[in-house]
């Protein structure tokens, strides 16, 4: 929560440093009493005071602030080019706190294909608190029409979208929203701060499910929001404490450890996803590939403008020939890609959105958003490219052949 991390020995300011250096060092001071290079985990829930209202150090009670949480928040603020960051117990809790900060009667405009849990919160929880959300499948075209002057307080974007990897031009949306004094929130979970920094493109708040790329090892549930505004810091840090949906010190410590290799993991995941996307695209067994890192992507120009070096990140999806059955079989036949929900870990995963993560959405709505029964989503990890390629291609061959035999067309 503390603004702008400071460096040891008055060295060059952190703002001058590059991503990998910040990932390793921001919010990671040596322990002042022992010299420990890695911060201890501060499990104590309360902190001694020398006299009434005079704590020994900076801390009083762990829900209000904790050393491990502060360190993690400083690191995220540095990596997202933000003045402030606030950590929460999950990505969903982060969304909830931002929505709770709006007054009853507020209105939100959101992209249609948001994360399922975000959609659920918008439609089933926010409405109970008098906050209405309008969804748009083409927000770049109609955001201005959907804005209700004086009522609309937020525009919520997820780019890339899940699971079809569509991109939104953040700068374009921010220009419209800011004309009306409306804040823009970007869920940056799918790319991580290494690939995209939404605040640099005009967003007011960037949110992450830390559970995914930032922690990166599929063993922590956590969320974070980063922003520059002092008034947002006042409002959201008040709610962080008042609502109390905060992460444990141990989870903050683990997520901070994961974060230190984010740049290495994000680069490797992009290399792997690019190789897999290109191989799938070249296969006669594939109908279409959604991956923002290759030229066939309809929003490639936005990727080049918004992503570091035009990187596509580690997520892709593709339509397999042979319908839903082939999609299910593909996920059964892969040996390295594990059939599971979630994403962003060191291990590669695959899933069938229409039957798993997006099963709750009515078929016609799903298909309108490109989520067909034959769509497979893949999260590429950091295994060796050649092994991932071979695994995907053998599963593809086998799945498509099996459906052809069954349909008597072999």
Q: How far is the CB of 341 from ligand PLP (least distance, A)?
A: 9
Nearer to ligand PLP, 284 or 360 (CB): 360
**Whole-number Å distance between alpha carbons of 76 and 232:** 16
Which residues contribute to the site for ligand PLP (CB under 6 A)? Answer: 90-92, 115, 117-118, 158, 162, 187, 189-190, 209, 211-212, 221, 223
**Whole-number Å distance between alpha carbons of 313 and 130:** 37
Q: How far is the CB of 263 from ligand PLP (least distance, A)?
A: 20
**Whole-number Å distance between alpha carbons of 408 and 92:** 46
Q: How far is the CB of 403 from ligand PLP (least distance, A)?
A: 30
Nearer to ligand PLP, 68 or 118 (CB): 118
Q: How far is the CB of 234 from ligand PLP (least distance, A)?
A: 25
Residue nearest to ligand PLP (CB): 91
> Is 212 part of the annotated catalytic residue set?
yes
User: Exposed, middle or buried: residue 59 (CB in 10 Å: 0-12, 13-18, 19+)?
Assistant: middle
| Catalytic residue of the set 70, 113, 169, 187 | 187
Structure tokens at 372: 């067909």
Alpha carbon separation from 239 to 3, 102, 126, 289, 369 (Å, rounded): 18, 11, 16, 41, 34
Give the number of other Cβ atoms within 10 Å of residue 123's Cβ: 12
Structure tokens at 176: 């419209």
Handedness of CA 209, 215, 216, 217 (dihedral sign): negative
Alpha carbons within 13 A on the beta-carbon side of 116: 14
Structure tokens at 142: 């109609």
| Catalytic residue of the set 69, 84, 115, 291 | 115
Q: How far is the CB of 181 from ligand PLP (least distance, A)?
A: 26
> Is 230 part of the annotated catalytic residue set?
no
Q: How far is the CB of 93 from ligand PLP (least distance, A)?
A: 7
| Catalytic residue of the set 153, 212, 319, 377 | 212
DSSP SS3 for 255: helix
Q: How far is the CB of 7 from ligand PLP (least distance, A)?
A: 31
Nearer to ligand PLP, 112 or 209 (CB): 209
How many distinct helices (H) and strands (E) make up the chain?
14, 14
> Is 278 part of the annotated catalytic residue set?
no
| Catalytic residue of the set 17, 59, 63, 83 | 63
User: Are the C-beta atoms of residues 155 and 135 closer than 8 Å to each other?
Assistant: no
Angle formed by the axes of helices 249-259 and 67-79, to 10°?
Answer: 30
3-state SS of the chain: helix, strand, coil percent to 5? 40, 15, 45
Nearer to ligand PLP, 79 or 315 (CB): 315
Nearer to ligand PLP, 68 or 92 (CB): 92
Contacts of 394 (CB under 8 A, 6+ apart): 333
Nearer to ligand PLP, 299 or 357 (CB): 357
User: Are the C-beta atoms of residues 232 and 82 closer than 8 Å to each other?
Assistant: no
Tokens 């109908």 correspond to what residue? 287
Structure tokens at 96: 């909830």
Alpha carbon separation from 346 to 34, 152, 253, 291, 384 (Å, rounded): 33, 39, 18, 19, 11
Q: How far is the CB of 120 from ligand PLP (least distance, A)?
A: 10
Contacts of 172 (CB under 8 A, 6+ apart): 140
Nearer to ligand PLP, 28 or 380 (CB): 380
Nearer to ligand PLP, 162 or 274 (CB): 162
> Is 115 part of the annotated catalytic residue set?
yes
Catalytic residues: 63, 115, 187, 212
């Amino acid at each position: 929560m503390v603004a702008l991390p400071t460096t040891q020995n008055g060295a060059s300011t952190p703002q001058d440093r590059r991503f990998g250096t910040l990932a390793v060092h921001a919010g990671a001071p040596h322990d002042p009493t022992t010299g420990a290079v890695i911060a201890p985990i501060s499990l104590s829930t309360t902190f001694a005071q020398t006299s009434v209202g005079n704590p020994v150090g900076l801390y009083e009670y762990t829900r209000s602030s904790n050393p491990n949480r502060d360190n993690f928040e400083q690191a995220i603020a540095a990596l997202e080019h933000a003045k402030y960051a606030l950590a929460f117990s999950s990505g969903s809790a982060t969304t909830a706190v931002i929505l709770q900060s709006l007054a009853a009667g507020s209105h939100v405009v959101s992209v249609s294909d948001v994360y399922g849990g975000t959609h659920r919160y918008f439609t089933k929880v926010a409405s109970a608190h008098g906050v209405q959300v309008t969804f748009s499948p083409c927000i770049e075209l109609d955001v201005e029409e959907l804005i209700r002057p004086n009522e609309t307080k937020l525009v919520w974007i997820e780019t890339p979208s899940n699971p079809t990897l569509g991109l939104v031009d953040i700068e374009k949306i921010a220009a419209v929203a800011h004309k009306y004094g409306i804040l823009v929130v970007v869920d940056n979970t799918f790319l991580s701060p290494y690939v995209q920094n939404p605040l640099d493109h005009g967003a007011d708040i960037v949110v992450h499910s830390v559970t995914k790329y930032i922690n990166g090892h599929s063993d922590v549930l956590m969320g974070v929001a980063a922003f520059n505004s002092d008034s947002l810091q006042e409002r959201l840090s008040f709610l962080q404490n008042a609502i109390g949906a905060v992460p444990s010190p141990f989870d903050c410590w683990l997520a901070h450890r994961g974060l230190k290799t984010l740049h290495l993991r994000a680069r490797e995941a992009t290399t792997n996803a690019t190789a897999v996307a290109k191989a799938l695209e070249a296969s006669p067994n594939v109908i279409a590939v959604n991956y923002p890192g290759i030229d066939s992507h309809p929003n490639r120009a936005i990727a080049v403008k918004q992503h570091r070096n035009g990187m596509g990140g580690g997520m892709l999806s593709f339509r397999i020939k042979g319908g839903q059955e082939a999609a299910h079989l593909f996920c059964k036949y892969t040996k390295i890609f594990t059939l599971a929900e979630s994403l962003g870990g060191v291990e590669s995963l695959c899933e069938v959105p229409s039957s798993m993560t997006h099963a709750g959405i009515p078929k016609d709505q799903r298909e309108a958003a490109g989520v067909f029964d034959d769509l497979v989503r893949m999260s590429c990890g950091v295994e060796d490219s050649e092994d991932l390629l071979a695994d995907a291609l053998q599963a593809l061959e086998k799945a498509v052949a099996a459906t052809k035999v069954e349909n008597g067309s072999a």
